[in-house]
Structure 1
């Protein structure tokens, strides 16, 4: 019998200025799960009236970023001219390809009116080599347009890719899956078995698998070919993710992902010398790290 678990990851706290996140991927030992190369948990935040989050314009190459909120609202702006509110249950899907600049901030209408909350996940998917230099694109997929269904009594929303004979409308470049799974105490969920690399991240709650207990804030990497049945010990919400491994290694520096280190060096120069397209109407930006 194949051991079910390959690795258990507890994220590290990373300060982003206005707030902190729990960074789960990558780690020194684990870079990718399928094409997923980056996974940040925006742990529940309380924003007082007048308090805001503002992530200044910054660049990306070689990836697609998926932002998904459980609570709260943010506004995305990018160098394509897109301005989009990110609301709970929706998928914001930004394909960086050969290069894009974007910013994220609190919904301005609400900043001075009331206390607000924010909770969500931002993940990056590395693009296959043949698509790393594709043109940048941005899509927002409303919650109502995403497949949501019961699987053996468990509520599942398919965000990206394919699972359980369902297909998300999100444009992808490689085989993958990304699910939001909600379980009641005592319910069990069998992970999709037709993807080579798989993991689950516990947003809230506690689960048991193969007699081991896992808690909120942990990502569990499953061994290839292992059967994985997860049982909720309490009300539980988890993200499950994975897919086919990419061909070749990926280099990751700051916000840049590429199969070729020279492309990352070029992106560094282009950002430092102002050759990325700006976000329209926004003058400030995050400088290239030293």
Structure 2
């Protein structure tokens, strides 16, 4: 760590020989996460919905790092067919996967449905990653030190709950509450996955992270009235995407990380700063809800886990 005890990108250990799959790696947090892993020697797969943007990201990384070991995989988390196709391709290409970083997400979208009829935020942020992780897990389980890192948000605390009676917001849609539900689901998933992993093996752990208030494209779906406020607030309250990626990078690479931990910024309100272990809401630790969400997620995606 730095002289002041802060964890920085310089603390990312050598990742040579490791294979990392990063979803949503063409921009924002995912891009900076992927670039840092490439810089420290990992082979990184940019798993992206838009392959044109993905190729631009790959070219940027390669231009900055001539010996970059980086490839592209098309992945649309809002389509289970796409998730299954991407997972099959990744399983074939990478019998060994060290890091799966579930980073991609959408925020505050107007109500719309995924290809499979799920509410877009819940379907993309939670169900897409639930399916992808389940389909790739057998390639991680034999690998000592492998990790599943899922990116949540402070949004898991606000207007958030798992509405089992209306998971797809068919009866009432509130874009903020739907986002909160999806980010709470990310944590419930992480904690339940860790409990299952810990009872069966010692190689793979599940960890979560959140970026605080990071300046990325995620806010592009903010209501029109909010956009001027975002523009004014960003320089004062938001940190850049490179800083926002640090909690994810620490969760993915720090040798002292333990399964079931949650990393976020160390500043006021966890909005900015360097990564440390943080706490999540009481709701996220409700084991009955964790198990119920897991069962429902298996039913909705058709994906069952080897743990």
TM-score clears 0.5 = no
- Higher Cα radius of gyration: 1
Higher relative contact order (CA 8 A, sep 6+): 1
TM-score, normalised with respect to structure 2: 0.28
Considering fraction of residues, name the structure with more strand: 1
TM-score, normalised with respect to structure 1: 0.29
